Amino acid sequence: MKNKDISKKLEYLKTTSSWFWSDEIIKPHSNPLLLELENSYSTVIEALMKINADLIVDELISLNIKRSLLLKHIMIFLDTSAETLDRAAMYINYKKFGGLTVGNKFIQFKKLGPSFYKNLNNEAIFNSDNNLTHDLLCILCYASQSKEFSHFETFNKCNLAIIVGDKNLLHKHLYYLPLRSTAQIKQLRAVDFGLQLEIYIRNFLAPIIETLDLHYSNGNRYYGQQFDRVIEKDGKYIIIEIAFQETTNSTLERKGKQAKNGLFQQVDKNGDKLVYIVDGAGYFKRHNALSNIIEYSHFTCNVSQCNLQMLEEFIINYFKQ
């Protein structure tokens, strides 16, 4: 198609376009769940105002509301996604936790644990039985205080038992909820966490860089392509890609495919090294993507101190050859 024809078609599409969602295309409540959530919202909030924090899980389950709606309301209220609950269940299974340790109290799981793990997508969560509902509510209410999860920033939001135990805190939480849960704030937070991770890795590498008289390539580029870190000395390069994913977004799939589809081969052919620093439950969820990264790299590690020390040895050995 000629440029003139393309411009004409483009103008026609713009002229006849709807531009924004309209009632000619959609209806506000074609999904019954949205309407049910709106209609039951006040019931849940009023219950949280009156609920006994010490008996919170049992009292929530006893509410006259469908389990699917109850869990969705609490997840929205705490800005906690199905993916987070799924990764928690996977972690509980891997670590063989039988419950949550909160102070001197041990809260026993009824379904989650060493012998249970399945994909907890939205559908699975909404169809959960009483035992699974109990366990998911335990996570949502107590994880932030528990020995098992309190050291993870991700689960600081799973603190419903603390919130309902303090009415001022409950009102404050409702006041700030729209700000904390907006997509724009979440994006800013994700970017900030990513930058903090890169700084953490850079600070860890700083002594090695100085001791071995290494430096970063201009713009961290390798043959014109930019990476998270590119260390070089005397024509030798180590390319480092850094990623921490709790969710299973496209980033981890892209990194795995990039390594498999030519990047590793190019770097290896040049006698250089490709390194991945990857961590987060999202990578453990996507086994194939992580397997590709491991197979098509010269070294793969996570952000633990013992793994980073192994990376330090790898860097030293390579540049001292």
What would the pLDDT profile of 311-321 be if each residue is shown by its tens digit?
A: 999 999 999 87
Taking 70 as the threshold, does the pLDDT of residue 250 lie above it? no
CB < 8 Å & 24+ apart, contacts of 170-178? 170/48, 170/49, 173/77, 174/45, 177/77, 177/79
Q: In Å, what is the CA distance from 254 to each residue of 75, 164, 191, 282, 287?
A: 29, 42, 18, 13, 14
- Alpha-carbon torsion 261, 306, 217, 191, what sign? positive
Any idea which of 60-69, 73-82, 221-230, 253-262 has the lowest mean pLDDT? 253-262
pLDDT digits (tens, 9 = 90+) for 55-64: 999 999 998 8
pLDDT-above-90 percentage for the chain: 50
- Report which of residues 266 and 179 the model is more confident about: 266
How much of the chain exceeds pLDDT 70, in percent? 98
| Rg value, the chain, Cα | 25
pLDDT in tens, 134-144: 999 999 999 99
Q: pLDDT value at position 249?
A: 66
Task: Please tell me the least confidently modeled range out of 108-112, 118-122, 125-129, 237-241.
Answer: 118-122
Nearest Cα neighbor of 299 from 240, 258, 224 is 240
Q: What share of the chain is helix, strand, coil (3-state, %, to 5)?
A: 60, 10, 25
On whether the CB atoms of residues 311 and 200 are closer than 8 A, the answer is no
**Confidence band (pLDDT; 50, 70, 90) for 247?**
confident
Q: What per-residue confidence (pLDDT) applies to 189?
A: 78
Q: Is the pLDDT assigned to residue 252 strictly greater than 70?
A: no
Span 72-104, pLDDT tens digits:
999 999 999 999 999 999 999 999 999 999 999
pLDDT at residue 259 is higher than 90:
no
Does the pLDDT at position 297 exceed 70? yes
- Residue 269, both tokens: 């052919």
- Which residues, other chains included, contact 16 with Cβ-Cβ below 8 Å and sequence gap of 6+? none
Cα-Cα-Cα-Cα torsion 301, 318, 240, 285, nearest 10 degrees, comes to -20
Rounded (5°) CA angle 259-264-270: 155
| Higher local confidence (pLDDT), 79 or 3 | 79
CB neighbours of 100 closer than 8 A, spacing ≥ 6?
106, 107, 109, 138, 139, 142, 143, 146, 147, 148, 149
Mean pLDDT, residues 40-46 taken together: 88
- Asked if residue 155 has pLDDT above 70, the reply is yes
Confidence grade of residue 237 (pLDDT, cut at 50, 70, 90): very high
* Amino acid letter, residue 231: I
Q: What pLDDT, on a 0 to 100 scale, did the predictor assign at position 35?
A: 83
Strands 273-279 and 299-301: parallel
**Whose structure tokens read 């509902």?**
133
Measured CA to CA, the distance from residue 240 to residue 227 in angstroms comes to 7
